[in-house]
Structure formats: C-alpha cells, structure tokens
Amino acid sequence: MGARLRPPTSASILALLLLLVLSGWYSFPRHPLLLGDLPAQGGYDYFYFFATTRALEAGLQEVYLSDEMGLFSRNLSDGRWEIRGNHPLPFYLLYRPLARLDFQTGYLVHLWLGFGLYAVGVLTLTRTLIPEPRLAWAMTALLAAGGLVLGPGVDNLWLGQVGHHLTFALCMAFVLGTSGRPAGAGFFLALAVLLKLYPALLALYFLRRGNWQVVAWMAGTLLTLGLISGLTWGFGHYAHFLEWAARTGYRSVLSNQSLMGLLALLFGEDASPGLKVFNLLALIGTSAGLLAAGRRWGGDSRTRQALEFSAWVLAATILAPLSWAHHHLVLLLPLVAFASLAQEDPGNRNFGLLGMGLVCLTWFLEGEVVTRDWIRTLHYQVCLWRVGLTMLGLILAACLVGMARTPPQTDSCQGT
C-alpha cells in the first residue's frame, strides 16, 4: 500500500527543485534583476577583471601589487574602488573584448553571457545524465531559474563573478570527456582552470580513467594562452603574479568556506607556512583517497562517472585557498548526478533524493548579498560556524557512498 502512495521518482525530483526555486525567490525581496540601476550598485568583482585588463592594455608594468595599479583603478572608477589584479595573466585575455566597452555595458554583457552559458551547461548535463527527455527539460528550466534566484547565483549577478561561467566549463568538460571528445574536454577544463585555478586537480580524474589526451589538451591550451598573453603584455607579469599569490594565498574572513580559511581563522594568518604544509598534505591525502575510491567503484556507467567527477570537484573546492558561496554553483554537478542515481536505480531512489536534498539545503543556506532579515542572519551564522564547509564535506561523502552503492554495470555512455 505504501509503495502505491509513493510519488514517482521524477515527480519527487521536480517537487524538490521547485521548492528550492521558490525558497530562493522568497529569500531576495529586492532581487538584483528588479533593480534598474544594478550596474551602478553592483559589479565589484567584475571591476577587478575590467580594470586589470584595461591597465594591461594601457601598458602598466605591474598590475598585482603596485600603487600605480591602485591609482589607475581609482581614476577609472571615479574614486569608487581601488583594486589590484588577482588572476593569472592569461585570464585577462578573456576580458579584452569587454574591456573595450564602458564598465556598465561590459558588466551587463558579462552577467547575461554568464547566465546564458550556465543554462547551456545545465541543459547539456541533464540531457546527458537524465534519459527521460521531459524530466531533463523540466529540470533544466528549474535549475536555470535557480541560477538566477538562489544565493550563490545572486552573488554572481551582484558581484559580476564567474561562477556561472565556471559551472558551464566544468559541465562541458565532463560531458565531452564522457563522449570521447578529449580535445573539447581539455579546452573547457583549461577554461575552468583559468577562471579558478583549483579545477586543475581534475586532471587526476582523467588520468585515473586513462584519458591522458584530455590532460594533454588542457596543458596545451593553457600553454598556448600563456604564451599569447606573455607576448601581448610581457612575461614579467608572471613573476609579479607569483609574488602576489604568495602574499595573499587565503583569507581568514568568515565568508571564506575553505579548509585553509578555517585553519587561518583558528590559528591566525601568522601560521601561514604551517597551514600551507597542512593543506598540501590534505591535498595529497585526499587525492590518494579519491584515486583509490575511483579504482574500486569508478565504473563506466554515466551515474558513476558523474559521482566520481563531482567528488573531485568538491575536493578541489574545499581545498582551494578561497571558497566563496559564489563558487558553489558547481554543486550543480553532484545535484544532477544524485538525480540520475535516483531515477536510474529504484534501489537507490531515497539515497539519490537525500543527496539532492543536501545540495538544495546548501544552496539555500549560502549567500553574501542583501536578503530578508532573518535569512541574512542565517547566512551570517552559516559563515560563522563554517556550515558551508561542512555541507561541502557531506556532499563529497555522499558522492563516494553513491559510487559504492551504484551497480557496476556499463551503459551507452563512453567512459572517460
């Protein structure tokens, strides 16, 4: 009798996602898309990319630590912001077209381009992992809406950050890798590394599966872009970037939900050498554990591949020196993997829905910009107690358990 009353798995998945989207919309009574003057209020992080590219194009010799860059950025923003460069040199090649526009126009183009790419990534991923077309399209619509109204998505819109772009790049790297197209997978993995350095850890995922071509294409793409940017703006910028990275490897502020951020908060930034050694050991140990788990449970079924890839994404996100809520749109990958597990394997239906629930709860809890008062207080407590970091760890553990529970059969998806 109970089984008859249980709703279909697809209905449960859609109900969970619909609840998530509605809760997100409720959380932001003054949503950025409702503000006609968004470019006049937001775009702080986009200005980092815009101003640094403008400075490089203007011929500044040092954009990472120099007072000259600070003066340039103040003048460019009419005294509003003073910034320094904070990405490796090839990253700014991506912003050369936008830097030719005025700030407000470029910010809006960046915002809508990022969301459009994110929607493409959502569609590509769900169509790959969810065999039922109507369910895949419905999930795409809800998850695309979630990218607009949930905390991490709103943070990216307000700040002009690259979370939407990063999620797209990782989705495409996974999908192309599973379909036997290493050149495309390597290109998009290189793009993800340019956006945020920590996805470089995913090279180990492809190497474990014997797909060294993806890693070769990634390395070749990065080397090519590195040479182009060095020839364009000067190779001396690389030394300045390394010096900057050594000085500002992490921040102990509450909103940094990384392991390094937690350690810096507990022991102080004066303990930097020890913290870096500990984080390196954690990186080595975690990578060894994921490699062992992959060898034992990493079959060729689409669901297993998605769960294993998601585990590497989560590990990289946790172990990166900086892990903000706006990075965590990449939780789309484990969310769809758990949905695939629930849909494809009736014996794991409840576990798959539980994994989806963990991701949905994390997305609801996280956020940095203005929300309803009680949710703003909740977000503060999440940052204070590193709940976001804990949730990332729980989702990572759920991915590994899901791999162990999934039958080892293969399907029509070509293994990476």
Q: What is the pLDDT along the chain (416 residues), one digit of tens a residue?
A: 445 567 899 999 999 999 999 999 999 877 776 656 677 788 999 999 999 999 999 999 999 999 999 999 999 999 999 999 999 999 999 999 999 999 999 999 999 999 999 999 999 999 999 999 999 999 999 999 999 999 999 999 999 999 999 999 999 999 999 999 999 999 999 999 999 999 999 999 999 999 999 999 999 999 999 999 999 999 999 999 999 988 876 777 888 999 999 998 888 877 788 888 899 999 999 999 999 999 999 888 999 999 999 999 999 999 999 999 999 999 999 999 999 999 999 999 999 999 999 999 999 999 988 778 899 999 999 999 999 999 999 999 999 999 998 866 555 444 44
Buried b (16+ CB within 10 A) or exposed e, 25-44: eebbeebbeeeeebbeebbe
pLDDT confidence of residue 226: 98
Q: How far apart are CA 262 and CA 86, in angstroms?
A: 21
Q: How far apart are CA 161 and CA 272, in angstroms?
A: 27
pLDDT confidence of residue 36: 63
Q: How far apart are CA 262 and CA 270, in angstroms?
A: 14
Is residue 236 situated within a structural domain? yes
Determine the angle formed by the axes of helices 163-178 and 103-129, rounding to 10 degrees: 30
Of residues 172, 158, 166, 173, the one with CA closest to residue 323: 166
What is this structure's pTM? 0.95
Is residue 1 situated within a structural domain? no
Structure tokens at 152: 């991490």
28 backbone dihedrals φ, ψ, rounded to 5°:
-125, 80
Q: How far apart are CA 166 and CA 189, in angstroms?
A: 9
pLDDT confidence of residue 34: 61
Is residue 184 situated within a structural domain? yes
Task: Count the domains in the chain.
Answer: 1
Is residue 384 situated within a structural domain? yes
> Residue 319 contacts by C-beta under 8 Å, 6 or more apart in sequence?
198, 201, 258, 259, 260, 279, 282, 283, 286
pLDDT confidence of residue 318: 97
DSSP helix/strand/coil, 64: coil
pLDDT confidence of residue 249: 65
Is residue 106 situated within a structural domain? yes
pLDDT confidence of residue 247: 81
Structure tokens at 257: 């939900």
The amino acid sitting at 345 is D
Is residue 9 situated within a structural domain? no
pLDDT confidence of residue 265: 87
| Cβ–Cβ < 8 Å for 253, 261 | yes
Is residue 18 situated within a structural domain? no
Residue 219 to residues 91, 190, 226, 398, Cα–Cα distance (Å): 15, 7, 10, 31
| Cβ–Cβ < 8 Å for 22, 363 | no
Quickly tell me which residue has 């989207």 as its tokens: 21
To which H or E segment does residue 53 belong?
A: helix 44-58
pLDDT confidence of residue 412: 44
Helices (H), 234-348: 236-247, 259-267, 272-297, 302-319, 332-344
Residue 65 to residues 52, 61, 153, Cα–Cα distance (Å): 12, 11, 30
Give the residue numbers spanning the domain of 149.
29-405
Is residue 410 situated within a structural domain? no
